[in-house]
Amino acid sequence: MEDLKKKIREIPDFPKPGILFYDITTLLRDGQAFRDAISVFVERHRGSNISAVVGIEARGFIFAAAVAHELGVGFVPVRKPGKLPYRTIRKSYSLEYGSDTVEMHADAVQPGERILLIDDLIATGGTARAVAELITECGGEVVEIGFVIELDFLRGRELLKDFPVFSILQYPA
């Protein structure tokens, strides 16, 4: 995993002073590193009867769609409000200052389906928690919530304690 970690570019003071941004575009640009990251998720779930892979806008789409393709299952996008064309269900969640909302098509997850949820990064866990709740409200089972990067110091796993969580890379360790 250290090889993958070397592919993440760290950008200080982005998008605002005091924030250290972990840029995955350098990992995505490296064909072998991108393939290796996808393979980690695929090998964890090959043969585990996943029904679909749910990806969170926007960077989660990149990883979730590739994993779904490799597993031979469907991909379900979760987006910000107003971006999906059909009837949606939504979940709002708290941010440090305010709130945000995510939406999914109302028929995207069926009762009894086994769902792998993937995003690029977990910080506080609020977005992933909201999406996992949407999945369970539809009757789906969240088999695992997977992340490429986990910011340990923000303790997002605590908010996701009701779900299995996996991350490929942990920071700052």
Q: Hey, which residues are catalytic here?
A: 59, 96
Cα 55 to Cα 121: distance, rounded to the nearest angstrom: 12
Backbone angles phi, psi at 139, to 5 degrees: 95, 5
**Cα dist. 107→45, 77, 85, 111, 135 in Å?**
23, 12, 12, 10, 11
What are the tokens at 62? 């990149």
- Cβ 55 vs Cβ 64: under 8 Å: yes
Whether residue 117 contacts residue 136, with contact meaning beta carbons closer than 8 Å, is answered with no
Any idea what the Cα angle at residue 60 is, between residues 92 and 37, rounded to 5°?
Answer: 145
**The two structure tokens encoding residue 57:** 């806008």
